Amino acid sequence: VTDILRYRPAADEYVWTFGGAAPVARIAPGTVLELFTEDCFAGRVRGTADLVSEVVEFPYVNPQTGPFHVDGAEPGDTLAVHFVSIEPARDWAASTTVPLFGALTSTHLTATLQEPLPEVVWIWQLDRAARLCRFEARFGDFTVDLPMDPMHGTVGVAPANLEVRSALVPDAHGGNMDSPEMRAGVTCYLGVNVPGGLLSLGDGHARQGEGETCGVAVECAMDTVVIVDLLKGRPCPWPRIESDTHLMTTGSARPLEDAFRIAQAELVHWLRDEYGLALLDAYQLVSQAVEAPLANVVDTNYTSVAKLRKEWLPGAAPMDGAHARLREQAASYRAAHL
Amino acid sequence: VTDILRYRPAADEYVWTFGGAAPVARIAPGTVLELFTEDCFAGRVRGTADLVSEVVEFPYVNPQTGPFHVDGAEPGDTLAVHFVSIEPARDWAASTTVPLFGALTSTHLTATLQEPLPEVVWIWQLDRAARLCRFEARFGDFTVDLPMDPMHGTVGVAPANLEVRSALVPDAHGGNMDSPEMRAGVTCYLGVNVPGGLLSLGDGHARQGEGETCGVAVECAMDTVVIVDLLKGRPCPWPRIESDTHLMTTGSARPLEDAFRIAQAELVHWLRDEYGLALLDAYQLVSQAVEAPLANVVDTNYTSVAKLRKEWLPGAAPMDGAHARLREQAASYRAAHL
Amino acid sequence: VTDILRYRPAADEYVWTFGGAAPVARIAPGTVLELFTEDCFAGRVRGTADLVSEVVEFPYVNPQTGPFHVDGAEPGDTLAVHFVSIEPARDWAASTTVPLFGALTSTHLTATLQEPLPEVVWIWQLDRAARLCRFEARFGDFTVDLPMDPMHGTVGVAPANLEVRSALVPDAHGGNMDSPEMRAGVTCYLGVNVPGGLLSLGDGHARQGEGETCGVAVECAMDTVVIVDLLKGRPCPWPRIESDTHLMTTGSARPLEDAFRIAQAELVHWLRDEYGLALLDAYQLVSQAVEAPLANVVDTNYTSVAKLRKEWLPGAAPMDGAHARLREQAASYRAAHL
Amino acid sequence: VTDILRYRPAADEYVWTFGGAAPVARIAPGTVLELFTEDCFAGRVRGTADLVSEVVEFPYVNPQTGPFHVDGAEPGDTLAVHFVSIEPARDWAASTTVPLFGALTSTHLTATLQEPLPEVVWIWQLDRAARLCRFEARFGDFTVDLPMDPMHGTVGVAPANLEVRSALVPDAHGGNMDSPEMRAGVTCYLGVNVPGGLLSLGDGHARQGEGETCGVAVECAMDTVVIVDLLKGRPCPWPRIESDTHLMTTGSARPLEDAFRIAQAELVHWLRDEYGLALLDAYQLVSQAVEAPLANVVDTNYTSVAKLRKEWLPGAAPMDGAHARLREQAASYRAAHL
């Protein structure tokens, strides 16, 4: 039988970092977590008058649900986090510009002497039945419905090197990668750095463009179900994602070419290590076959994804076959509970 | 009636730069060009023993077919280059590693004290009927067929600022952008910098991964048909691409985030200028709706593409409706000639 | 009377992070600290056979002496840390190459598929009387004496945003900036992020080139005296350094131009805020008068310094005159104790 | 006897590119050139009302004096350009902000949606007898005299790869490096890419901060004397500078760490090739001994300099002893003519 843990944090139970927080629960590998995640604004942006600079209390931004201590997880192991479902918990979502944050503005790191861009809030209406997100222009009457494509911007474990990182940061421990690929149906692999791993997630997006250009997606609270498994004795240097169709690797760094290099080198190494290709053959195959969707070009580190169709690879079940196994477990759970 | 010009350069008629070469022909706007382009190795890599460092004579690499002087083209105008068809001219293609070139090696610009990677050649078999490219491992017996998706890595005009640029360089004049989006069916917009524009193209790829990780795609000679139109009085600061479904902008720069910024800002400005959105509304919409496929992360400048579904935009015919018009002209040409 | 605190950590009393460690002492503003700092290898590299990859136990690298809780320090205040003296504690020092670390090699962030550079150790003899560091070639018989110029690579406070950072990281909290400017006679200003500030320092270098090219300086244990003062109600967003002759600002980020931008913008703002220049006048003056010595181009963030002669500025005593005051206090201390 | 050529271009005789222009004279190796160079604005900014965006006619900016064809120069050789004297030709100089240009603003490459900074002109008075440059604030009454330190921002040869580059661009051919190290008394080494080399120079600065933060130095016309020598059969991949005291290498690239890497690797290679150090010994010595003054962080490529004291090196006369020889020739010239 599968353990199922339902957890909806109280207002004062969110965490704001990866590492540095006591676990809210200890779970056995294979546990299903039924979670509520608040939006990145801690729910404080509810209308176009709610400017982030006024209503959000830094550093209490991007609240995470967790962390969960996975029994038996040790450094050198990997957590496999399968996203069973990610469903917007409200019928609206918010996006904004934030002063000195985003790709098309100067920032605290890309410093200039110019004035910041104006601060503007957009409230998006979500039609959950039709799976649509409605954009309404603030400075005109244009409206358009975009497909809903729910995802988690942030998922990760406690970092290595004795560090505690803000939930705004993506790095080798995962965190705020802001990749649209983190949608229902995929398995995310996260290398364990501390006993128990200490998994948290949050920052739901009803949808997001690749790169998250203005720095903020269609932000909304989520009802999310994940199954958490443990792969013993198998390291995972950078977060990986597996879908039914693709292998994906991630890299988070600056400048953006370094994020690209990490993700691509990780994919080459994955093909070498699990599919038996020689290093340079893997390099060649990746060069011609890879997709390279950007995740974010706005956070403390930028995140690049490398993505390869599994059908083009020799018949291996990577990562100990975790994805297929979790896919089945998810189907059973869905049959019983959804 | 449409002018049709067939041009297959002799071995000594290729050009190796954008700018700095006399036009091979003067053409009227609307002319159909039936072209042959040689591969980036000038056809000298024909087997796995043909190492680039031995058989290619630098700087005579990446030969271009052209340039074509478009009658009436003046600085401030834009060329619209519609790709009617791009067909591999041989049943094989070549790819290689090149010492100190590529994303996962140190290079002349990202200098290290390490030894270069080994130089290896892969010959890909092309099944043009089945539209497949066959990868054969060099260091094992793995083989896989990838879909053929022919494209031109290089298309551009003479640059601004009195410059002449190597055909290996992508920049605001186009050039070696190496984007898989440059496939048959799209229209590429290139701002004119000198009288006549001086359009050239080359560097055909039977297919290419996003980012062109090892620096070299599945390189092959091409039989290509383009229609070249002229948009008077309409500038285009960076190359744009329009397909039946998408608007695309490009940016080429280093570091990669600057290429991303250019492409994204260009798309925001396009929505503002041709679709009537306010600047910040355009920024928000792009942030949630954009795809950001990388083109190359290996050349002198890196190239990022921003891509937006036209169905999500108000009903405008951008760029004076050039794409629809050229699409029709291409259909007529195809009906008559293919 | 001045409080003097002498502190030499036991082997298990070093800390490896900024933030996240309990203070070893509470001190009043104005306290003189007589400290011992271990070298970045925790003293484990003592000969050319002691390879970092074998003798150092990650993440226990770059040990820090501290942290010290400064009474009354609150977020929004600034610590002024005056370096009275920095003296090598041994008559030798060590430097090495470290696999996948340094500016002229691929690294974990600038990932390539090449082999790492070989791991080599150099032991430098220090002639403390003559103030010389002797380089001896490992692969030949060349020897040269370079001037000793002792400095601390690492000095900082607990970071903002609830974070704990590895002692290998430089950022807005200071940390591993690796600037040769951090020598005896200067005052370093560090903005306080948490109550008490939590100051630590370590990573002594007998000397270092600008940029710390191979990633490792002439590393040695130090006997160091600092005076720690508190500037109430005065924020300091990024670490600053003041010498008798120069104002200096720092920025730590990637890519390196972002580190440069931060340091230069900080200097412009300093001139505007404390010397009464208009923003653009300050921009112009800095543009023509600044020196821009690099600190490190190898750590998790790169560090750039902007440096301006005080004699060229209107007669202000910046930072509440802290440097002049501490300079006097240091003279008294020296007269009494050295 | 030494050839002396005096050349003061007429208004229509300046060139705006490296490469692509016919030589104004053929000179023998060893020729003394007595040159006039116009300022980067082509002399059009003469008062605070002369905004660059209004008075300068792009791309006719940064006029160069030359090019000079050096008899016998072939690809694989190196030009040694010794700066005998660089003297401001007027008693004033100009600096400005330029919209979307400079380090502390968004630019055409680092694109944002913000408004550009205001355009402001500063006129600097030059006291050539006292060797002082007077800064006068535009928005207050602050005035300060900075030491005059005349230099050339731009010196270079025709580029490789069949290219023609704008005089605003620094790269392996030299060009607009904007390094304060290019002052009287140094010898600049430039690798020859085309027959005759085609040397030009311009862009005099009465002084400049390191990094040229706002993008524009204290710009003035110059009376400059150089001696041009030819080193046969000796390549020089990137520009080098030798002074009486230092070896210097340069790298020009983006991001800035790549410029740093090039300059540092060039210096390591120089020590290996001319001073007999093993590669890793050279790496270690450079790491501890180098100075790394930035040149520009504003141009199309950023330029970093690596600088090493010759007294710390084994007794070699690098570059065939060209600097010492040219120093002597300069002394003779000075004795006879100045």
The ipTM of this complex is 0.98
Chain A: touching chains (3 or more CB pairs < 8 Å): B, C, D
pLDDT at B192 over 80: yes
pLDDT, residue D2, reads: 78
> Which amino acid type is present at position D333?
Y
Nearest-CA distance D97 → chain A (Å): 12
Q: Which residues of D291-312 are buried (b: 16+ CB within 10 A; e: fewer)?
A: bbbbbbbbbbbbbbbbbbebee
Mean pLDDT value across chain B: 97
Give mean pLDDT, residues C280-308: 98
Query: How many CB pairs (< 8 A) connect C and D?
Result: 199
Give mean pLDDT, residues A153-180: 98
What whole-number distance in Å separates Cα of residue C112 and Cα of residue C97? 18
Give mean pLDDT, residues A138-165: 98
Give mean pLDDT, residues A45-56: 97
- Residue D234 exposed, middle or buried by CB count within 10 Å (0-12, 13-18, 19+): middle
By C-alpha distance, the chain B residue nearest C109 is: B104
Give mean pLDDT, residues A137-142: 96
Chain B residues with CB inside 8 Å of C111's CB? 104
Rounded to the nearest 10 degrees, what angle do helices C256-275 and C279-289 cross at? 120
Cβ contact, residue pair D111, B265, below 8 Å = yes
Chain A residues with a Cβ under 8 Å from any Cβ in chain C: 16-17, 19-20, 58-59, 108-113, 160-166, 168, 251, 253-255, 258, 261-262, 264-265, 268, 279-280, 283
Residue B58 has which token pair? 């630098």
pLDDT at B145 over 80: yes
By C-alpha distance, the chain D residue nearest A110 is: D104
Which helix H or strand E contains C280, and what residues bound it? Answer: helix C279-289
Reduce the DSSP state of residue A25 to 3 states and report it: strand
- Residue A93 exposed, middle or buried by CB count within 10 Å (0-12, 13-18, 19+): buried
Chain C residues with CB inside 8 Å of A58's CB? 161
Chain A residues with CB inside 8 Å of C279's CB? 113
Contact C232, C77 (CB under 8 A): yes
Give mean pLDDT, residues C315-322: 92
pLDDT, residue C1, reads: 62
Closest among A213, A212, A225 to A178, alpha carbons compared: A212
Nearest-CA distance C293 → chain A (Å): 19
Nearest-CA distance C259 → chain B (Å): 14
Chain D residues with CB inside 8 Å of C257's CB? 103, 254-256, 297, 302
Chain A residues with CB inside 8 Å of C59's CB? 160-162
Phi, psi of D270 (to 5 degrees): -65, -45
Nearest-CA distance B255 → chain C (Å): 8
- Number of Cβ within a 10 Å radius of residue C125: 14
Quick: pLDDT tens for A313-333.
988 789 999 999 999 999 999
pLDDT at A1 over 70: no
Chain C: touching chains (3 or more CB pairs < 8 Å): A, B, D
pLDDT at A143 over 90: yes
pLDDT, residue D139, reads: 98
Give mean pLDDT, residues C125-139: 98
Chain B residues with CB inside 8 Å of D113's CB? 265, 268, 279-280, 283
Question: Across-strand partners of C7?
Answer: C35
Nearest-CA distance A61 → chain D (Å): 25
pLDDT at D1 over 90: no
Nearest-CA distance D118 → chain A (Å): 9
Give mean pLDDT, residues C269-283: 97
Give mean pLDDT, residues D2-23: 96
Cβ contact, residue pair C116, B114, below 8 Å = yes
pLDDT at A253 over 70: yes
C37's CB contacts (< 8 A; 6+ apart) are C63, C64, C65, C152, C201, C202, C203, C204, C221, C222, C224
Quick: pLDDT tens for C1-16.
679 999 999 999 999 9
What whole-number distance in Å separates Cα of residue A19 and Cα of residue A35? 19
Cβ contact, residue pair D261, B112, below 8 Å = yes
Cβ contact, residue pair A137, B277, below 8 Å = yes
Chain A residues with CB inside 8 Å of D105's CB? 112-114
Give mean pLDDT, residues C312-319: 91
pLDDT, residue B21, reads: 97
Mean pLDDT value across chain D: 97
Residue in A95, A118, A277 closest to B140 by CB:
A277
What whole-number distance in Å separates Cα of residue B51 and Cα of residue B59? 16
pLDDT, residue C315, reads: 83
Give mean pLDDT, residues D265-276: 97
Residue A61 has which token pair? 């931004």
Quick: pLDDT tens for C244-275.
999 999 999 999 999 999 999 999 999 999 99
Quick: pLDDT tens for D134-170.
999 999 999 999 999 999 999 999 999 999 999 999 9
Most B-contacting residue of A256, A290, A296, A303 (CB-CB within 10 A), to test interface: A256
Chain D: touching chains (3 or more CB pairs < 8 Å): A, B, C
Nearest-CA distance D169 → chain B (Å): 10
pLDDT band at B1 (very low <50, low <70, confident <90, very high): low
pLDDT, residue C244, reads: 97
- Number of Cβ within a 10 Å radius of residue B332: 11
Give mean pLDDT, residues A253-273: 98
- Residue D117 is given by DSSP the state P
Chain C residues with CB inside 8 Å of D124's CB? 288
Chain D residues with a Cβ under 8 Å from any Cβ in chain B: 16-17, 19-20, 58-59, 108-113, 160-166, 168, 251, 253-255, 258, 261-262, 264-266, 268, 279-280, 283
Question: Across-strand partners of A36?
Answer: A223
| Angle, CA C7 vertex, CA C5 and CA C9 arms, to 5° | 165
Chain C residues with CB inside 8 Å of B111's CB? 104
Contact A93, A126 (CB under 8 A): yes
Quick: pLDDT tens for C48-93.
999 999 999 999 999 999 999 999 999 999 999 999 999 999 999 9
CA-to-CA dists, residue D86 to D7, D153, D185, angstroms: 15, 12, 9
Quick: pLDDT tens for B262-293.
999 999 999 999 999 999 999 999 999 999 99
Mean pLDDT value across chain C: 97
Cβ contact, residue pair C113, B116, below 8 Å = no
pLDDT at B49 over 80: yes
Closest among A260, D208, C97 to B296, alpha carbons compared: A260
By C-alpha distance, the chain B residue nearest D278 is: B113
What whole-number distance in Å separates Cα of residue A85 and Cα of residue D154? 60
φ/ψ region of A213 (left if φ > 0, alpha if ψ in -120 to 50, else beta) reads alpha
pLDDT at A338 over 80: no
Residue found under tokens 């003046």: B74
Chain C residues with CB inside 8 Å of A280's CB? 113
Chain B: touching chains (3 or more CB pairs < 8 Å): A, C, D
Chain B residues with CB inside 8 Å of A213's CB? 264, 283, 286-287, 290
- Residue B286 exposed, middle or buried by CB count within 10 Å (0-12, 13-18, 19+): buried
Quick: pLDDT tens for A64-95.
999 999 999 999 999 999 999 999 999 999 99
